[in-house]
Structure 1
Amino acid sequence: MNDLEALLAQSKETVEALLEAGIEEDFELEIEHHLVSTDFSKLEKAAVELVKLGYHVEDAEEFHLDDGKTCFYFAAITECLPDVAVLEQQTREICAVADACHVEYDGWGTFLGDEEEE
C-alpha cells in the first residue's frame, strides 16, 4: 500500500535539507508523522497501535477532497535529533503500522518557525 522506499528516500532528503539549512545535529526536533484514510475506524486502529509504540497521537481531523470525498488525518508526534538512521527507523515503524491498518502514511515533517506563526 505505502511505498516504503520512496518514504525512506524522502526522509533522508528532508534530514539532509534540514542540516544544509543550518539545523544543528544536536537540536531536538518535533517530528509529525502524517497518516490519512477515508475510513475513520482504520485510522483509529493505526492511532492505537502508534500510541502503544510510544508516539503522541493528535486527535483526528476531517477534510474533504475536491471530489467531495471525506478523509481523516492525524499526526503521530515524537521528538528526535535530525538523524537519518533514527528517522529511517521511525519511517519503517510507522509505515508497517499504516500498511497493517490499511491507511496511508504521508511521511513526516517538522515546524521550524516561531510558535506564533502557527
Structure 2
Amino acid sequence: MPQQDDYLSVEDFLEIQKEDTREIIQALLEDGSDPEALYEIEHHFFAEDFEKLEKAAVEAFKMGFEVLEAEEAEDEDGSKLLCFDATMQSALDPAAIDAQVEKLVNLAEKYDIIYDGWGTYYEGEDALYPDEDEDDDEE
C-alpha cells in the first residue's frame, strides 16, 4: 500500500531543510568550528535509476557544483541505491546554504531522485581530516 501520507510538498521539505541548516551551523559553532572558514558543503543524492542520477549530476555540475563519483549504497531494507554528492565551498551562511539547498531540491524533484540533505566537516586549528593519518600508518 503506497504511503502517500509521508509525501511532503517541496515547500514543506525546504522549510525542514532550513531548520536543519540552522541546527547544523549552530552545532558546528558550539563545537568551536571556525566561523570565518570556507566549508566544503556536501549535498547528498540517492536514486535507483542510474540514468536519472547521471542527468541530475550533469545539471548540478552545470550549476557550479563539483560532482563526486557515483557510488552504490543500500537502504534500510537492503535495496541497492546509487548515490553521489554535489559539493560547493561556502561560508556558514544560512542564506547561502538555503539557496544551494533550494536549487538542489528542485533538481532532485525534476529528475525524481532523492535529496538527502547536506553535511560538512568541522574546521578549526584542532580539526582532524580523514586522510591525514593514512600515510603515517603505511610507514
Under a length normalisation based on structure 1, what TM-score does the superposition of the two structures give?
A: 0.89
Match in the other structure for 2:137 = none
Tell me the SS of whatever aligns to 1:71: strand
Are 2:71 and 1:61 equivalent residues in the alignment?
yes
Relative to structure 1, the CA distance from residue 117 to residue 97 in structure 2 (aligned partners, 3 Å threshold; closer, same or farther) is farther
What one-letter code is carried by the residue in structure 2 that aligns with 1:13?
E
Deviations 1:40-75 (A, max 9, x none): 111111101100100000110012335342100001
- How far apart are 1:11 and its partner, in Å? 1.2
Task: Map 1:43-58 onto structure 2 (within 5 A).
Answer: 43-58=53-68
Match in the other structure for 2:3 = none
Larger Rg: 2
Mean CA deviation greater in 20-29 or 72-81: 20-29
Higher RCO (CA < 8 A, seq sep 6+) = 1
Match in the other structure for 1:116 = 132
What one-letter code is carried by the residue in structure 1 that aligns with 2:42?
E
Kindly tell me the number of residue pairs found equivalent between the two proteins.
118
Match in the other structure for 1:7 = 17
What one-letter code is carried by the residue in structure 2 that aligns with 1:51?
F
Under a length normalisation based on structure 2, what TM-score does the superposition of the two structures give?
A: 0.77
Equivalent-residue separation in structure 2 for 1:67 and 1:81 (angstroms):
36
Determine which structure has the larger strand proportion and give its number: 1
Relative to structure 1, the CA distance from residue 61 to residue 24 in structure 2 (aligned partners, 3 Å threshold; closer, same or farther) is same
**Overall identity of the aligned pairs, in %:** 38
Q: Can you give the 5+ residue segments of structure 2 that lack an aligned partner in the other structure?
A: 1-7, 123-127, 135-139
Q: Can you give the 5+ residue segments of structure 1 that lack an aligned partner in the other structure?
A: none
Match in the other structure for 2:48 = 38
Equivalent-residue separation in structure 1 for 2:22 and 2:78 (angstroms):
34
Detail structure 1 runs of 4+ shifted over 3 Å in the superposition. Answer: 65-68
Match in the other structure for 2:91 = 81
What one-letter code is carried by the residue in structure 1 that aligns with 2:24?
T
The structure 2 residue matched to 1:102, chosen from 104, 112, 125, is 112
Contact 1:32 1:75 in 2 (8 A): yes
Contact 1:36 1:74 in 2 (8 A): yes
Equivalent-residue separation in structure 2 for 1:117 and 1:105 (angstroms):
32
